[in-house]
A and B are shown apart, each in its own frame.
Chain A
């Protein structure tokens, strides 16, 4: 299971970074989403992997999993969802306004710019 989780985090991070480096809004936002999935899985792993154990006190439980990473992940998911929504709206506004979906600065031609 460690191999599965580790490779999941690795593959998600790698694809996410690749998409972020595409520098156009749609791939970049997709890449950001993949990165946040990667970090959520990683946060789960930071509390050690346990299968089928509850994070809260229960009468019939003999084994518990660490509850703190779950709380962290919950907060992180909420924040990253909201942030993705914000960036989609701003990117949409910028795209509709300039008819250009590049994320990086446009190259300014010095010759034309000079007075």
Chain B
């Protein structure tokens, strides 16, 4: 049993109190520890992803208690991929934070940042639904702190909405867990998968309610219309780098949906049939359309990017709702792509914010450092809108291809293509108002002069764009890996076998009679 798989949770969990207790008044030391911690996280995550890449399922039994009774952490291709993505994103966000000095504008940024990472990593690695709830809470508690970091009335008001909405989501999650426990008597995912198969097609009421409640909870996290209301204000008002880190948090919802609805309630399960195509697909298409229309309708740059995130989540959900191996593979590719692109856009919004009077989409004098910022904005916008040559285009092609011969394929094609066109128009309009029209605004004497952003900030954004480019260049390899991942998801026997069949204290592995 390897202990490495718990390291992504333990490392930030130890680092955060250390930063609070020992390095409280020394921003330099905090930065060093935070950076080193994140780099170590990347190394660990890469090692885990490497181990899992040949199809191995890494299992960790906490306290050596065996599965249905004890808590387990499980790493397969999907969870290690998400852990690696989180660690890489965290590095660039951290570089930007240090470059722009956001961490100096309030207290305890780095400690909260580490706790946030701990929650996200735990949510990806846990093999137990109740621990998923607990790690959701850990990441939410940290995100409340980060969201209102550096204060201000607007931010506090948006923070109240954000906290309350997520509190409602948590309550709903508990209701869903209670319903599932009442129906099956277990909360371990592998054990649940075994027991859900035993439920006959005629005893469906309880389990259907439970599965729909769970889907609702994850849809709230993923900001799927009509449960997206918390997202625009909170992402627009949060500090730029925090919003960039939040780009991974909507993906936690998508991850949970993929995990639960391929393993516990797979599409062929009679008791919960029709959940994806009847319910998830229409709302996914609506969120895609609404997100992209929001891009066109937004009156300020931060709202625009928030709606782009809703739209990209809609795109991911469309691919997930297909519930075929091809669809899930496309969704995974798009998840990686849209996390990087969304984070880059939020950082660019912050670059603009720090060198412009306001973010509203009206012509104003040029932003400081305009050529570089504008170039990065257009690269990120091309990625987000899914234009060639960047990886959004490949992801979109994969989604269209996966939906080609399904019943709802026509709808998917129409909505995806129209929404893409609208988003291109929206981004082009925003970019030309902010960066090009600025040249025609007469220069006002003694107006406020802005410093161009720190080079390190540009490094962070440029790094994200470079990653996107690399993701495009190695699109073929990435696609092969995503297909292998989704095949592993649709054959959960190995996962269940590993979790339930492994020995530990109080174990009664499969096939062994006493």
Contact between A46 and B141 (Cβ–Cβ < 8 Å)?
A: no
Name A91's contact: one of B152, B160, B170, B177 (CB within 8 Å).
Answer: B160
Asked whether any CB of chain A lies closer than 8 Å to the CB of B408, the reply is: no
Name A94's contact: one of B159, B179, B181 (CB within 8 Å).
Answer: B159
Name A98's contact: one of B153, B181, B362 (CB within 8 Å).
Answer: B153
CA of A48 to CA of B156, assembled, Å:
42
Contact between B159 and A79 (Cβ–Cβ < 8 Å)?
A: no
Q: B44-52, B161-169, B266-274, B316-324: which one contacts chain A?
A: B161-169
Residues of A within 8 A of B161 (CB): 103-105
Asked whether any CB of chain B lies closer than 8 Å to the CB of A61, the reply is: no
Asked whether any CB of chain A lies closer than 8 Å to the CB of B454, the reply is: no
Taking the closest CB of chain B, its distance from the CB of A101, in whole angstroms, is 9
Taking the closest CB of chain A, its distance from the CB of B143, in whole angstroms, is 11
Taking the closest CB of chain A, its distance from the CB of B217, in whole angstroms, is 12
Contact between B160 and A90 (Cβ–Cβ < 8 Å)?
A: yes
Residues of A within 8 A of B152 (CB): 97
Asked whether any CB of chain A lies closer than 8 Å to the CB of B205, the reply is: no
Asked whether any CB of chain A lies closer than 8 Å to the CB of B182, the reply is: yes
Residues of A within 8 A of B187 (CB): 68
Contact between A83 and B167 (Cβ–Cβ < 8 Å)?
A: yes
Residue tally, chain B, CB below 8 Å to A: 31
Interface residues of B in 150-192 (CB under 8 A from A): 151-153, 156-157, 159-161, 163-164, 167-168, 170-171, 174-175, 177-179, 181-182, 187
CA of A86 to CA of B146, assembled, Å:
13
Taking the closest CB of chain B, its distance from the CB of A106, in whole angstroms, is 9
Q: Contacts A28-B164, A82-B141; is A94 near B178 (CB within 8 Å)?
A: no
Taking the closest CB of chain A, its distance from the CB of B71, in whole angstroms, is 11
Residues of B within 8 A of A28 (CB): 164
Chain B, 293-325, contact with A by CB distance < 8 Å: what is the 0/1 string?
A: 000000100000000000000000000000000
CA of A109 to CA of B343, assembled, Å:
31
Contact between A42 and B175 (Cβ–Cβ < 8 Å)?
A: yes
Residues of A within 8 A of B156 (CB): 90, 93-94, 97-98
Residues of B within 8 A of A75 (CB): 130, 134
Asked whether any CB of chain A lies closer than 8 Å to the CB of B137, the reply is: yes
Name A39's contact: one of B164, B171, B233 (CB within 8 Å).
Answer: B171
Name A103's contact: one of B151, B164, B177 (CB within 8 Å).
Answer: B164
Interface residues of B in 221-259 (CB under 8 A from A): 233
Contact between A105 and B181 (Cβ–Cβ < 8 Å)?
A: no
Q: Contacts A72-B177, A97-B153; is A90 near B163 (CB within 8 Å)?
A: yes
Q: Which of B137, B153, B164, B177 has the most chain A CB within a 10 Å cutoff?
A: B164
Contact between B167 and A32 (Cβ–Cβ < 8 Å)?
A: yes
Contact between A35 and B362 (Cβ–Cβ < 8 Å)?
A: no
Instruction: Name the interface size band of chain A.
Output: 35 or more
Taking the closest CB of chain A, its distance from the CB of B497, in whole angstroms, is 24
Chain A minimum-CB-distance residue to B147: A90
CA of A69 to CA of B185, assembled, Å:
10
Residues of A within 8 A of B329 (CB): none
Chain A minimum-CB-distance residue to B159: A90
Contact between A76 and B164 (Cβ–Cβ < 8 Å)?
A: no
Interface residues of B in 337-386 (CB under 8 A from A): 362
Taking the closest CB of chain B, its distance from the CB of A49, in whole angstroms, is 11
CA of A45 to CA of B178, assembled, Å:
8
Chain A, 22-66, contact with B by CB distance < 8 Å: what is the 0/1 string?
A: 000100110010011001001101111000000000000000000
Residues of B within 8 A of A42 (CB): 174-175, 178
Residues of A within 8 A of B163 (CB): 83, 86-87, 90
Contact between A94 and B153 (Cβ–Cβ < 8 Å)?
A: yes
Residues of A within 8 A of B164 (CB): 20, 28-29, 32, 87, 103
Asked whether any CB of chain A lies closer than 8 Å to the CB of B148, the reply is: yes
Q: Which of B134, B157, B187 has the most chain A CB within a 10 Å cutoff?
A: B157
Taking the closest CB of chain A, its distance from the CB of B437, in whole angstroms, is 13
Q: Contacts A28-B164, A103-B160; is A43 near B174 (CB within 8 Å)?
A: yes
CA of A29 to CA of B153, assembled, Å:
19
Taking the closest CB of chain A, its distance from the CB of B189, in whole angstroms, is 15
Chain B, 125-144, contact with A by CB distance < 8 Å: what is the 0/1 string?
A: 00000100010010001001
Q: Contacts A72-B130, A86-B163; is A79 near B178 (CB within 8 Å)?
A: no
Contact between A46 and B148 (Cβ–Cβ < 8 Å)?
A: no
Residues of chain A having any CB pair with chain B under 8 Å: 20, 25, 28-29, 32, 35-36, 39, 42-43, 45-48, 68-69, 72, 75-76, 79-80, 82-83, 86-87, 90-91, 93-94, 97-98, 100, 103-105, 113, 115
Q: List 26 A-B contacts (CB under 8 A).
A: A20-B168, A29-B164, A32-B171, A35-B171, A43-B174, A43-B177, A45-B182, A46-B178, A46-B179, A46-B182, A47-B181, A68-B187, A72-B130, A76-B174, A80-B170, A83-B137, A83-B141, A86-B163, A87-B164, A93-B148, A97-B153, A97-B156, A97-B157, A98-B156, A100-B157, A113-B299
Given contacts A32-B168, A79-B137, 6 further A-B contacts (CB under 8 A): A42-B174, A68-B181, A72-B130, A80-B170, A103-B164, A105-B161
